Structure formats: C-alpha cells, structure tokens
Structure 1
Amino acid sequence: MFSYYLELALRSLKRSPGLTALMVLAIGFGVAASMTTWSVFRAVSGDPIPWKSAQLFVPQIDNWGPNGRSNDGEPPNAMDYADAMALMRDHRAKRQSAMYQISPSVVPAEAGKHPLNVSGHAVYGEFFPMLDVPFKYGSGWRASDDENRAAVVVISSKLNQKLFGGAASVGRSVNIEGRDYRVVGVLEDWNPQPRFYDVVNSGGFSVNGDDVFLPFLTAIQTGMSNDGNTNCNAVPKESGFVGLQRSECVWIAFMAELDTGAVAAYRDYLDGYARDQQRAGRFAWAPNGRLRDLRAWLDNQHVVPSDTKVSLLVALGLLLVCLVNTVGLLLAKFLRRSSEIGVRRALGAPRAAIYTQFITEAGIVGLAGGVLGLLLTGVGVASVGWVLPKDIAALARVDLSLLLLTLLVAVIATVLAGLYPTFRASRVQPAWQLKSN
C-alpha cells in the first residue's frame, strides 16, 4: 500500500516541478544552516572527558579579597604559587596537580638543525592518571621524580616524530632550554577540546596540542617562566620569575580528582585553609572559596563562545522561517487539488488515506531537501573559518552522526510542516467539490 501512496506522491511532485524545487531549496538551506552551526556548537560544548568529568574538580581560593573580586563576588579563577603549593603539600584529593603553561625551546640532536619552539605544561606526575592521558610509549613519571626534581619529560607523538622519527624513544634524551631531559613517555594523539585541564592559562581551544610536559618543581627550579595568563591585583614587590612566585598574582591552574563522598570534606578543607590564612594575618576577609566540577567550571568560564550560541539561534530561526514558507507552499499545493480530493472521498477513500498520501508527499520533499542539505552542510562546515576563529572552526567536522541527523531533521521538520496543510486538505467536503464541478 505504501508503494501506491509513494507513486501518487511522486506523480504529484512531478506535475509542479517549480513549486517542488522551491520547497526542496527552502528545506535544504534551512537544514544546512542549522546543521553547520550545530556541528560547531557540538564541538565546543561537548564534555571533553564524559566518563570522568563528575570526579574532576577545580578549587578556587580568594587571595585578593573584596577589592579583587568580580561583580558577582567570584574569587580569582587561578591560584598564586603559595596557595597552589600548600594544596599540593596537604594533598587532600585522590589525585591532584598544579600546572602552568610553558613554551620552551627544544634543541634537536642533529647538528645544524634549528631549535624548535614548542608549547607545553609543567605538571605533577598525578596529572596523567588523573586525566586518563593516553600513552603510545612509556608512561608518566613517579611521585619520587616530582620530589627529587628529576629531569624527565613526557612528549607528544608529534614531537616524537620530529625528533626520533616516531620510534619508541623512552629512555632517550631531549635537550630543552640547554638541559638534557630523559623521555619517560610518549603520548598518543591527545588534544582534548576544550582544553579543560587549563582553560584559564591556555584558552579554551587550540588547534595544536601540548608537545612537552615537565615536572612542576623541576620547571620552577630551572626558572622556566610562565607563558600563560598572569593576573595581579598589585605590582609584585620583586621582579622576575622569583618575584612572581612570591607575589599574590594568580597564574597557576589546579585540578583535583575526588570521589563522590570526598567532595564535601574537600570543600570544608578549602574553607579551613582560608580561615588559617585569616588567622595568620594574610587574609583579612572571610573564606570565599569555590569548588566546581568540570562541567560547572567550563560553564563558569564561558568556554562556549557566545558567537556560536548566537549563530545557532540565528540558524534555527532561519530553519523556522523556511518551514513556515514550506507550510504555505504545501497548503497552496494541496488545496489546489481539492477537486481530486473530493472525487476520491466520494468514491469512498477515508480521511486516513488522504493523510497518508499527503504526509508521504511531504516526507519525499523533506528527504530531497535533506540530501541537498547534506551537500550544503559540507560546504558550510568547510567555510566556517571565514566567520569564526581558526581554533574553533577547525573543530567542526562532518561525520556519520551529523549526516544522519541532517536527514532526520529534514524529514521530520517537513512532515511536521505538512501536518496542517494535510489536515486542511482532508477536511475538503466531497459534495461541494462535486457540485462545483
């Protein structure tokens, strides 16, 4: 029976090719605009580590007081050196790591090759198991390496390819800023988006991942300066990197892994630490700390760019306008066939048959619009770099889920748009049509 209605729908669409093409174009452009912006929004707003985000927390300590708070009373979104080191020493989390961004030079072993400027982070050894960082060769360093300020390094697969031709390089040496570091691990391709482990210092998104990870205390000891954001509520009393460490300037990111039952205790610990600082005379204000899980932290830092949200709303509005136009075109097309409907109803066709015929016709229009939308979506995704920053535009991609969603949205939206015209067409009175003819 469906094949019969399908044949009727195709005949009807062929009788008015101009109107059919107009409806297909409207659906195709509306769906393509929506799916293109959705591909970007999906990439920037997704959970970067969904299996563990509920266990990852970012603590904040108010070391600036009321004069340094934002309008909503928020404390600084990073830590100074003293507070970060205190939390690392107390170690109240299952795993934890202070971190800051670095941009050292790597000197290739081959003579005559120019140094490579790379990006990376100084972290603690717990950073890698805490974030389930994937390794191609080796692993992260041990806690004793942190304590002993060992000259060890974890490098990216990209840097490993440049330096060692992609071979297993664990145990080999890398010259960083004039000092040899022993490679203990090589990462798989790992560049989570957003870069959730250091949103403040590294920015939310980056096309290129980190190339080197060094032990935090080793980087501090060798004077490897911070290459991330540094915010100060007062000018440091001393100059240089050592002066930064002794100041109240915030420049260190911090992340802790907590089991469900340990969250309240860790929050109490942060309040207790702030009260200790108050009693010691460092803070002259009541505790004002925060402890947010990863998703809440990303929301708090407005990681999803407002441009993508606005673009998505505009695209959805365009799709709605296209659907409204399609409703009008379908209504005109269906009611123009009132005499045909009247004859079929007079011959005994039930309203359900009229519904099925016209909904099938709307579905075919939606499917054709979806196919057109697939092509336009591919063009749109390839062109988003013209209107969005490169780091964000690079995240948009066409995959199987996006293709299926495009077709599904096109068909469902068009069928919904055809409900009212179909309802009006099924209400045609056979007697009036026969009398008028």
Structure 2
Amino acid sequence: MFSYYFKLAVRSFGRNKVLTALMVLAIALGIGASMTTLTVFKVLSGNPIPHKSEKLFYVQLDPGMREGYKAGEEPETQMTRFDAEELLRQKKAPRQAMMTGGGGIVDPRVDALKPFSIQMRYTSADFFPMFEPPFLYGQGWSAREDEGRGRVAVITKVLNEKLFKGENSVGKDVLVEGHALRIVGVLDEWAPKPKFYDITTDRYDGDEDVILPFSTFIDLKLDRNGNMNCFGREIVSDAQALNVPCAWIQYWVELESPGKAGDFKAYLDNYSEQQRAAGRFERPANTRLRDVMEWMEFSNVVPGDVRLQMWLAFGFLLVCLVNTIGLLLAKFLRRSGEIGVRRALGASRREIFKQCLVEAGTIGLAGGLLGLVFALLGLWAVRQRPASYAELAHLDGSMLLLTFVMAIVASLLAGALPAWRAMQVAPALQLKSQ
C-alpha cells in the first residue's frame, strides 16, 4: 500500500502545484537554516578525543596576590613555570604534560626554498601518549630528553613533505632559528579542531609544524606566543624565568579513571597550601581540575552567537512547520469529496490517515532535497566569514542523513493534525452534497 499511496501523493502534487511548492519551500527553508547552524554547532562542540576525554584533566592553581582576592573566584587559567616544573617533577599523575606555543624560522638548506616561518609547540614527553597524535615515522622523545634538554623534535607530515619530499626523515636534522634539531618522529595527519590542548590562544588556526621539548625551548631561548599574566608587585624583566610570578603555561594530566580526579585535586589543594606556607602563594587553596569537555565548556569554545543562531534557526523551523500544517489542512480538506467516496467504498479511517501521512512525508522528502541545497549554500556563506572556525563548516555524512530525517519527521509531525482531520470526514455527508 505504501507504493500506491506514494503514487497518489506524486499525482496530487501535479493537481496542486502552487500549494505543494509553498509547502516544500517552507520545509526547505526551515531545514536549510537549522542544518546550517546545527552543523556549525556540532563542529565546534564535538568531543575531540572521545575515547579518553574523561581521563584528561586541565590543571589550574591560584598563585595570585592577596590584594583583590575574592573567595570562590576562578584561578589563573594558566600556570607559572615554577609550579608547572614542580608538578612535573613530583609525578603524582600517571602522565602529565606542560606546554606552551611559539614560532620561529626554518632554514630548509635547499636552494629551491627560502627560509620560512613556522608554528611550534614546546612540551614534555608525555604529550604524545596523552593526546595520541598518529605517527607516520618514528615516535616522540622520552623523559631523558626532557631532563637533558635534548635537541630533538617531532615534525608534521606537511613539513616533512616540504623539507624531505615525504621520505622517512627520522635521524635527520631540521634547522630552526639556527639550531639543528634531530628529528625523532614525523606525525601523520593530525590537526584537532578546536586545538583543545591549548585554547588560551587561537583555537582553530595556527597548527604547529614542530614539537620540541620545553626544556630545549628554554635552553635555546626560542620565541613564544600566547597569553601571559604577570601578577607580582615588582617589574618583571624576564617573564619566562623560573621564579617569576607570571602565568603562561598550560598543564594537563592523565589519570587512570575519572574517579581519581578527587584524589588528584586533594593533592593540588595540599600543594597550594604548602606553597602558601612557603610564602609563594598568598591566597587559600583555590584549584580547578576539569576534563576535556568541561574545560571546553568553561572556555566557551562554542561562541554565544553560534548558540543563539542555532536556537533562532530552530524557531524559524517551527514557524515553517506551523505554516505547513495550515497548508496541508487546506489541501486535505479540499479533497473531502474524494475522501468521502473512498470511505464509502470501504476504506477505513486508518487507511485515510496513512495515505495523508505518506503524502506529507513525500512533501518532506522533497523539502529535504531542497533544504540540503539551502544548507550547502548556508555553509558556504559561513565559510566566507572572517571567523577562525569558518573553514570547518562542512556537511559530513551523518549531518547529510540527519537533513533528510529531520525533513521527513518534521513533515510527518506537520501532517499529523491535517491527516487526523481528513480521516474524520463523514462519507454520508460528502456523498449527499455531491
């Protein structure tokens, strides 16, 4: 019966072209707007490392001055070098990594290429097993290179293609700011968006080409970038020095399970009180320990205007559905005579209801096809915006499927009331009026 009702629906489109076109357009506009904003929201709010995001935690301490302190306020978003190195030395978590970002100039030492600028990440050895970037060749360095300020580096596939034409470059050198760094690993494609392990700077741009030990960065006095907050009472001459009260380092830990977070936070509280007793900290223990998704939520990775646009788009879809209900009601009731004849010939109310729903669903399918076009145009428009996340706005397979599911479900919901009214048509009255 479904195929028969589908043929009747297609035939009905030809009899009421303008009315059908209006319904298809209404659903398409609502679906197009909703899918555009929903796709952007999904891209920005997705879990970047779903299999272990509940075990990775971002650490915050509060080393600020006594002046201006308010109980319960948020501590510094980043950590001082002294605290980061001390926590790393104490090794209270199975894995932990301190890091910051920077930049420099690579000398390709090839006549065909001129020196060019790159982005870099300065971190510790556990960065690789914690965040699991895939390797094309080699591997990350060990804690021994951290402690020995080893002049080693991991480079990206893109840089490897540029410098070594894609060959296995492990064991070769890359010349950064005049310093030769021995390549120990080459990453495969890996560019998480947002860059969740460092969302204190640009969250969607600035993929790093070279990753090297934090200790080596300090030893070679390489350039760094990103936010820094100095809060001491004295003028700072070298903000990156060990004992300077400046927060500029991100610190992550990986715990065995989410249940271990309470114990590790207790350790952080105890560490803070120890530093306060030593005179370094002036405020009571005020620590935070957030997993990946909590940290992204706290950092407002999804801009407020994106959330607002999404809800407005769904509100627009609701308005389109209300209009579609009215149009379907008018269309079905105009066929009261036809419905009355079918009822008189033995069709049950249930069959009338099913026929009308199939027709509504067919309209939804057509609306979904047109809505997909509108969604693709909407996402293209988003990609033309100057926002750093704009280039990520693409429709993937799951969102493509959701477009048609939403269109059909929306049309079925819109068609339920008109179909119910249509099946209430009394055949006797219709036949008598004829």
| TM bracket, shorter-chain basis | over 0.9
Please say if 1:149 is aligned against 2:146: no
**Match for residue 308 of structure 2?**
310
TM-score (norm 2): 0.96
**Paired letter, 2:53:** S
Count the aligned residue pairs: 433
Please say if 1:204 is aligned against 2:233: no
Per the TM alignment, residue 263 of structure 1 is displaced from its structure 2 partner at its CA by: 2.2
Structure 2 stretches lacking a partner, 5+ long: none
Please say if 1:45 is aligned against 2:48: no
**Match for residue 238 of structure 1?**
236
Distance 2:73 2:46 in 1: 27
1:411 is aligned, of 391, 408, 413, to 408
Per the TM alignment, residue 388 of structure 1 is displaced from its structure 2 partner at its CA by: 5.8
**Match for residue 431 of structure 1?**
428
Superposition map of 1:91-130 within 5 A: 91-111=91-111, 113-130=113-130
User: Is the Cα–Cα contact under 8 Å of residues 68 and 75 in structure 1 kept in the other structure?
Assistant: no
Distance 1:276 1:240 in 2: 26
Distance 1:238 1:293 in 2: 33
User: Is the Cα–Cα contact under 8 Å of residues 99 and 249 in structure 2 kept in the other structure?
Assistant: yes
Superposition map of 1:18-417 within 5 A: 18-65=18-65, 67=67, 73-111=73-111, 113-200=113-200, 202-206=201-205, 208-234=206-232, 237-243=235-241, 245-260=242-257, 261-387=259-385, 389=387, 391-417=388-414
Per the TM alignment, residue 366 of structure 1 is displaced from its structure 2 partner at its CA by: 0.4
Distance 2:144 2:176 in 1: 21
Per the TM alignment, residue 82 of structure 1 is displaced from its structure 2 partner at its CA by: 1.2
Per the TM alignment, residue 383 of structure 1 is displaced from its structure 2 partner at its CA by: 1.8
**Paired letter, 2:187:** L
Go from structure 1 to structure 2 and tell me whether the alpha carbon gap of 1:67 and 1:324 turns closer, same or farther (over 3 Å shift).
Answer: farther
Distance 2:234 2:48 in 1: 36
- Deviation string for 1:200-243 (max 9, x for gaps)? 1x33222x521010100110111123211112234653313545
Range with greater deviation from structure 2 (259-268 or 178-187): 259-268
**Paired letter, 1:366:** G
2:62 is paired with a residue of what secondary structure? Answer: coil
**Paired letter, 1:194:** P
Distance 1:199 1:323 in 2: 39
1:199 is paired with a residue of what secondary structure? Answer: coil
Range with greater deviation from structure 2 (353-362 or 379-388): 379-388
Distance 2:203 2:284 in 1: 31
**Paired letter, 1:205:** Y
**Paired letter, 1:287:** A
1:120 is paired with a residue of what secondary structure? Answer: strand
Per the TM alignment, residue 266 of structure 1 is displaced from its structure 2 partner at its CA by: 1.1
Distance 2:216 2:292 in 1: 27
TM-score (norm 1): 0.95
Distance 1:72 1:287 in 2: 10
User: Is the Cα–Cα contact under 8 Å of residues 62 and 283 in structure 2 kept in the other structure?
Assistant: no
2:343 is paired with a residue of what secondary structure? Answer: helix
Per the TM alignment, residue 343 of structure 1 is displaced from its structure 2 partner at its CA by: 2.2
Go from structure 1 to structure 2 and tell me whether the alpha carbon gap of 1:218 and 1:70 turns closer, same or farther (over 3 Å shift).
Answer: farther
**Paired letter, 1:199:** I
Distance 1:22 1:364 in 2: 14
Go from structure 1 to structure 2 and tell me whether the alpha carbon gap of 1:148 and 1:212 turns closer, same or farther (over 3 Å shift).
Answer: same
**Paired letter, 1:233:** F
Go from structure 1 to structure 2 and tell me whether the alpha carbon gap of 1:406 and 1:388 turns closer, same or farther (over 3 Å shift).
Answer: farther
Distance 1:360 1:318 in 2: 24
User: Is the Cα–Cα contact under 8 Å of residues 237 and 247 in structure 1 kept in the other structure?
Assistant: no
The alignment's C-alpha RMSD in Å is 1.7
Go from structure 1 to structure 2 and tell me whether the alpha carbon gap of 1:49 and 1:151 turns closer, same or farther (over 3 Å shift).
Answer: same
**Paired letter, 2:370:** L
Per the TM alignment, residue 91 of structure 1 is displaced from its structure 2 partner at its CA by: 1.0
Distance 2:299 2:202 in 1: 10
Which structure has the highest helix share of the two? 1
Per the TM alignment, residue 113 of structure 1 is displaced from its structure 2 partner at its CA by: 3.7
